[in-house]
Amino acid sequence: MSEVEIISVPTRILTEKDDIIDTIENYTKGKITENDVISVAESVVAITQGRFVRPEDLKISKTALFCCRFIPDYGSLASPHGMQSLMDVEGKWKVASALFFGFIAKLFGKSGCFYKWGGEQAALIDDVTGTMPPFDKCIVYGPDEPNEVVKRLKERLKCFGAVIADVNDLKRSRIVGITKNVDGDKVAKLLLNNPFGNASQKTPIVIIKNFKQYQQK
């Protein structure tokens, strides 16, 4: 039985002018089999969908200035621009109330409630420097319809499955979009060491070779 193997695929800089399905097909041609899972970084999918905003285009509210102070420094919502970008798509008072009640929940030992109640984008937004240049100067939202994107990827590439992943160097790995036949927990563990290169490496695509056999073990 073949062992699972993680292969990072280099690309040029991808922009909103690229079709993510066509691009991945082009860069993985001849490298994908029916036993493999294709994984792509969520920020790059979002960029190709035009889901980003420049900080200078945001109008920072006093509420955003206040609320961002309660986010840990390493979080994308810790800056006024990051917090404002979330409020613009999820609603100012929804985010503020989620932060307040999330703090109360934490006092009772329940963590992560803010990201659950603050809207889908609360856990997906990447602040500046969170992705590859030149978009490291932009705030990038999470991708639109991620499960539809991976479904199209699987159909086009004829592979075992496809995922969109949110992974960073802090050993945090989360699956944003996934085809139904793939075990997301197993994929997330395999990606913990962050084989994606969203900066100068420009390797936003990862092939997990022989995942079908690995999942069936």
Q: Give the range of the structural domain holding residue 63, as residue numbers without chain letter.
A: 53-140
Domain stop point among 120, 140, 160: 140
Question: What is the tens place of the pLDDT at every residue in 184-193?
Answer: 999 999 998 8
Q: Which two tokens stand for residue 108?
A: 């009772």
- Tokens 């970084």 belong to residue: 41
Is residue 15 pLDDT above 80, yes or no? yes
Cβ atoms of 95 and 83 closer than 8 Å: yes
Distance in angstroms (rounded) separating the CA atoms of residues 123 and 166:
10
Distance in angstroms (rounded) separating the CA atoms of residues 206 and 40:
6
Mean pLDDT to the nearest integer, 107-118: 93
The reply to whether 79 falls in a domain is: yes
Is residue 134 pLDDT above 80, yes or no? no
Whether 32 and 134 map to the same domain: the answer is no
Mean pLDDT to the nearest integer, 139-146: 93
The reply to whether 74 falls in a domain is: yes
The reply to whether 1 falls in a domain is: no
Whether 160 and 191 map to the same domain: the answer is yes
Distance in angstroms (rounded) separating the CA atoms of residues 46 and 20:
9
CATH of the domain at 168: 3.30.1330.100
Mean pLDDT, all residues of the chain: 90
Domain stop point among 90, 114, 140: 140
Question: What is the tens place of the pLDDT at every residue in 150-209?
Answer: 999 999 999 999 999 998 777 788 899 999 999 999 999 999 888 886 555 578 899 999
Whether 64 and 109 map to the same domain: the answer is yes
Whether 147 and 135 map to the same domain: the answer is no
Domain stop point among 114, 140, 166: 140
If one counts the domains in the chain, the total is: 2
Whether 58 and 135 map to the same domain: the answer is yes
Question: What is the tens place of the pLDDT at every residue in 59-77?
Answer: 999 999 999 999 988 888 9
Whether 106 and 126 map to the same domain: the answer is yes
pLDDT at 9 (0 to 100): 92
52-53 and 139-140 beta bridge pairing = antiparallel
CB atoms within 10 A of CB 57: 10
The vertex-50 CA angle with 44 and 54, nearest 5°, equals 95
The reply to whether 115 falls in a domain is: yes
- Tokens 């945001």 belong to residue: 58
Cβ atoms of 205 and 40 closer than 8 Å: yes
Rg of the chain on CA atoms, in Å: 18
Whether 178 and 72 map to the same domain: the answer is no
pLDDT at 171 (0 to 100): 76
Whether 136 and 193 map to the same domain: the answer is no
pLDDT at 197 (0 to 100): 67
Whether 57 and 134 map to the same domain: the answer is yes
pLDDT at 201 (0 to 100): 53
Mean pLDDT to the nearest integer, 71-98: 93
Whether 42 and 76 map to the same domain: the answer is no
Is residue 129 pLDDT above 80, yes or no? no
Whether 66 and 132 map to the same domain: the answer is yes
Name beta bridge partners: 164: 40, 177
Distance in angstroms (rounded) separating the CA atoms of residues 43 and 136:
11
Whether 44 and 99 map to the same domain: the answer is no
